Amino acid sequence: MALLNLWSLSHFAIWSTAGRWTKLSWGMFLVLSISWECFEWAVDDQSWASFAVEPFENKLSDVVVNTIGFWLGRRLKID
């Protein structure tokens, strides 16, 4: 399985939008981003959570993509 996939694109889009259009702090971003990946890890053996089944490396790459997206969104923000 590749480290980047279509889910990576959605992660990037969501977090770049959040970075651009919200007042979310870096601290809260990290809490939300990492908490979501922990949630996916916790439920990946549940039948209703097929979206969460991925190797641990993908969960790490998701956080990296989230961070890049949020950073870019913050850079594009006009105060």
Per-residue pLDDT tens over the stretch 19-33: 999 999 999 999 999
Report whether pLDDT(1) > 70: no
What is the CA 7 to chain-centroid distance, rounded? 9
Residue 14 pLDDT grade (very low, low, confident, very high; cuts 50, 70, 90)? very high
CB 57 within 8 A of CB 35: no
| C-alpha separations of 16 from 43, 50, 64 in Å | 26, 25, 12
Is pTM beyond 0.95? Reply is no
pLDDT digits (tens, 9 = 90+) for 42-77: 887 776 666 666 778 888 999 999 999 999 999 998
